[in-house]
Amino acid sequence: MNIFKNTSFTRIWLGNAVSELGGAFGTFCNSLLIYTLTYSTMALGSMWLLYFLPSLLLQLFIGPYIDRWSRKWIMIIALWSRSFLFALLLLFFVTDILQVWHIYGVQLAVGLLTPLYVPANQAILPSIIPKEQLMKANGYVDGTNRLMMFMAPLTAGMVIEYIGVQSTLFLVWSLLGISGALLLPIHEKRVPQTTRSTWLQQFSEGIHYFFRQRIIVWLGVFLAFVQFGVGVTMVINLPYITTELNGTVAEYGYFMAGFPLGYVLGSILVGRIKKGSRRKVMLGSLIIGGMTFVVLGFTTSFLMAFTTEVIGGISMAIFNVHNTTLCQKLVPNNLMGKVFSVRLLIIRGAMPLGVFLGGIGSTLWGVRPLYVLIGGVICMVAILGIMLPYFTFMDDVEIEKKRNAS
């Protein structure tokens, strides 16, 4: 059956695409505004810490409610709330009263909405898609999201440079509003919660299931190292292009488009890779991704930097699609929200550490050494995952045995 004949999936696919485009535009715009107003990597780091730290706190509490409430309406409310926030930012900019703390405030609020949207988005797919189509569905959703993320910086860089920030903010507001509207007709299969457990009981259930499944734990650990590196690059990518490579705002947009472009290509390739164990394919791609950070630390060519980002995107797509699909297959539908919230809490907890290192480290040591450092750490962790016999439980055969025995 053609997966796009499932109208609920098609609307989620389109809604994700539009929201990712709008969100990526918003991120690009906010980062550029902060750096233009302050010319400080510490200010960029502070913006991202305001985004991540409160969201981690909310992540502790929200998991059980993802399974109790309608996942569709959680996503819609989160998207429309983000649209409203960027409408405020547009108003402040148009009236010429925009200040740094306004941008910080928007980032803080968006950070509080993310723990609602992301686990609901991940948990809703298994309720509308058969398990045998999950890999393909995740590939389409993930790949299209990254295509939007490719288009956003590419377009935003040109729009801001040649037209201005106002048009960019207007586009963000519009796209987020449209994405919420696209989700309205979705039909989700909800599992009735006949037992009204307390929040603590439900959260404990998610924690218990998460840590009982060692494959889910280790998938989260490997992904946490990736997110740590992402946290660092959130701070240093802009000064890397504009200062280290003497690039323009438009070139920063091109550079930021390289990774999602590669991610689209990787999401197309991931279903075609048949040889080798899933563990070696997944962690091998993580090694390649780590090496791209190292290359960025040494290159002085913008073209080489862009090409490296494309390769990084391809490798990370292969890693992420396998990672997410394995978790979705192993977690029961009635526990999806709880378990994915715990998983996101652990994964996202690594990002503020990366943001903190990016802000402090770039000031103390410079941008280039940080790329080499995070790339080396990611490579080392992935190599251990491939070489140590302990991790053979992540191979396909072992997973199937585990599923059949449960």
pLDDT tens digits, one per residue of 240-276:
998 899 988 778 878 888 887 888 788 778 767 766 6
Average pLDDT over residues 225-245: 88
Residue 292 near residue 308, CB atoms below 8 Å: yes
The closest alpha carbon to 125, from 117, 134, 116, belongs to: 134
pLDDT tens digits, one per residue of 359-382:
888 888 889 999 999 999 999 999
Question: Rounded distance, CA 121 to CA 9, Å?
Answer: 11
The closest alpha carbon to 111, from 55, 42, 163, belongs to: 55
Please determine, for residue 401, whether its predicted confidence score (pLDDT) is greater than 50. no
Question: Rounded distance, CA 219 to CA 326, Å?
Answer: 9
Percent of the chain residues past pLDDT 90, beyond the cut: 17
* 105, 320, 352 from 56: Cα distances, Å: 16, 21, 9
Q: Which residues contact 305 (CB under 8 A, 6 or more apart)?
A: 240, 241, 245, 255, 258, 296, 299
Residue 313 near residue 266, CB atoms below 8 Å: yes
Residue 257 near residue 311, CB atoms below 8 Å: no
Please determine, for residue 38, whether its predicted confidence score (pLDDT) is greater than 60. yes
Q: Residue holding tokens 């992904």? A: 223
pLDDT tens digits, one per residue of 63-118:
666 667 778 888 899 999 999 999 999 999 888 888 888 899 988 888 888 777 87
